[in-house]
């Protein structure tokens, strides 16, 4: 792939956005390549978790590629947003395995939106996060108006969006926008450790639990009912038999992932 580096390390797929000179800005090719990598990872049983990061020390991702969309029409703008959400941002959120964003430096616009689509976020102490779109005469278009409010609440989301200001890692941590803040050199390591930690658990149950959490944010779906249905389905899985048997036999579970 042109703009994505992929490495499978101990069952964790590390996807590195590799456009360092452009601060890893998300152009069409990068979005498509990430989308394809995620499709393949979803089907690959060797991949148990995914870490998304950006190349270099300066930026996770500095946003959608402004140079690419600067001359777009109304229709092209709408389709940029719709296609991006469909190909990448919703796909990350709906992945069947945990996705962890490892954020160093700038996570702006589409970059913060990508991190917010992930299930867990780790940021460096020098990270800067924001949705600067209104300063460009546009609005967050990759789910930012929705996911930021879900993570930090309406009041703080409104402030970040209308001021277009960046916040630092400490504020992001206090506001619940990131799960962990660590030194820059430890961001990837921390993200990998969380990915590894999930691998002791049933992949089927993890997928079902993540879907149940997301049900609350899906129009027309009752999260409690989704939880009941998913809970019940777990009882028909081999993972459930293995997990409960292992507990009773006082041994570590070896989940078949079925
Ligand atoms: N799109 C395209 N190119 C970008 C970019 C972006 N979002 N962000 C940075 N770059 C490019 C710069 O144009 C520059 O390229 P050249 O050397 O070819 O000129 C290179 O990356 C390095 O950037 P700077 O020289 O600007 O670096 P800096 O240290 O002076 O500033 C920065 C860093 C504050 C992050 C600044 O680059 C910046 O403000 N970037 C844009 C941030 C932004 O507005 N993001 C939102 C994009 S819109 C969006 O994401 C819409 C959506 O929701 C769908």
Q: What is the pLDDT at residue 36?
A: 98
Residue nearest to atom 37 of ligand 1 (CA): 62
Domain CATH number, residue 71: 3.90.226.10
Q: Which of 21, 55, 56, 62 to mutate to test the pocket of ligand 1 (most atoms within 8 A of CB)?
A: 62
In a domain, 172, yes or no: yes
Residue nearest to atom 44 of ligand 1 (CA): 132
Does residue 115 sit in the same domain as residue 11? yes
Does residue 22 sit in the same domain as residue 100? yes
- Report the candidate in 117, 112, 119, 110 with the shortest Cα–Cα distance to residue 91: 117
Q: What is the pLDDT at residue 167?
A: 98
Answer yes or no: is the C-beta of 112 below 6 A from any ligand 1 atom: no
Average pLDDT, the chain: 98
> For residue range 155-214, what is the model confidence (pLDDT) as tens digits?
999 999 999 999 999 999 999 999 999 999 999 999 999 999 999 999 999 999 999 999
Answer yes or no: is the C-beta of 54 below 6 A from any ligand 1 atom: no
Answer yes or no: is the C-beta of 132 below 6 A from any ligand 1 atom: yes
Q: What is the pLDDT at residue 32?
A: 98
Q: What is the pLDDT at residue 162?
A: 98
Q: What is the pLDDT at residue 125?
A: 98
In a domain, 135, yes or no: yes
Q: Which atom of ligand 1 is nearest to the CA of 128?
A: 35
Residue nearest to atom 35 of ligand 1 (CA): 62
Q: How many CA atoms lie within 13 A of 116 on its CB side?
A: 29
Q: What is the pLDDT at residue 252?
A: 97
Q: What is the pLDDT at residue 239?
A: 98
Does residue 193 sit in the same domain as residue 207? no
Q: Show the low-confidence residues of the chain (pLDDT under 70).
A: none
Residue nearest to atom 10 of ligand 1 (CA): 22
Q: What is the pLDDT at residue 115?
A: 99
* pTM of structure: 0.98
Does residue 212 sit in the same domain as residue 108? no
Answer yes or no: is the C-beta of 201 below 6 A from any ligand 1 atom: no
Does residue 192 sit in the same domain as residue 213? no
Q: What is the pLDDT at residue 131?
A: 98
Active site residues: 113, 133
In a domain, 21, yes or no: yes
Range of the domain at 90: 4-198
Does residue 175 sit in the same domain as residue 48? yes
Answer yes or no: is the C-beta of 239 below 6 A from any ligand 1 atom: no
Helices (H) and strands (E) in the chain, counts: 12, 10
Q: What is the pLDDT at residue 228?
A: 98
């Amino acid at each position: 792939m042109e703009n994505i580096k992929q490495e499978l390390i101990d069952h964790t797929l590390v996807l590195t956005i590799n456009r360092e000179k452009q601060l890893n800005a998300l152009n069409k090719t990068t979005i498509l390549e990430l989308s394809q990598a995620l499709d393949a990872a979803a089907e690959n049983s060797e991949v148990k978790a995914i870490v998304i990061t950006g190349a270099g020390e300066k930026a996770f991702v500095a946003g959608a590629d402004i140079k690419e969309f600067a001359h777009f029409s109304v229709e092209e703008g709408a389709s940029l947003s719709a296609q991006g959400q469909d190909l990448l941002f919703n796909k990350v959120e709906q992945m069947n395995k945990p996705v962890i964003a490892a954020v160093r430096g700038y996570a702006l616009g589409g970059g913060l939106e990508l991190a917010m689509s992930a299930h867990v976020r780790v940021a460096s102490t020098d990270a800067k996060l924001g949705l600067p779109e209104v300063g460009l005469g546009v609005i967050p278009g990759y789910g930012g108006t929705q996911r930021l409010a879900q993570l930090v609440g309406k009041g703080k989301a409104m402030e970040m969006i209308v001021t277009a200001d960046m916040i630092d890692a400490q504020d992001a941590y206090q506001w619940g926008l990131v799960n962990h803040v660590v030194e820059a050199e430890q961001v990837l390591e921390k993200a990998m450790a969380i990915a590894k930690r999930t691998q002791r658990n049933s992949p089927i149950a993890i997928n079902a639990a993540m879907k149940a959490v997301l049900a609350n944010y899906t129009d027309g779906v009752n999260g409690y009912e989704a939880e009941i249905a998913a809970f019940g389905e777990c009882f028909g899985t081999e993972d459930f038999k293995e997990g409960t048997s292992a507990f009773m036999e006082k041994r570590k579970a070896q989940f078949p992932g079925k």
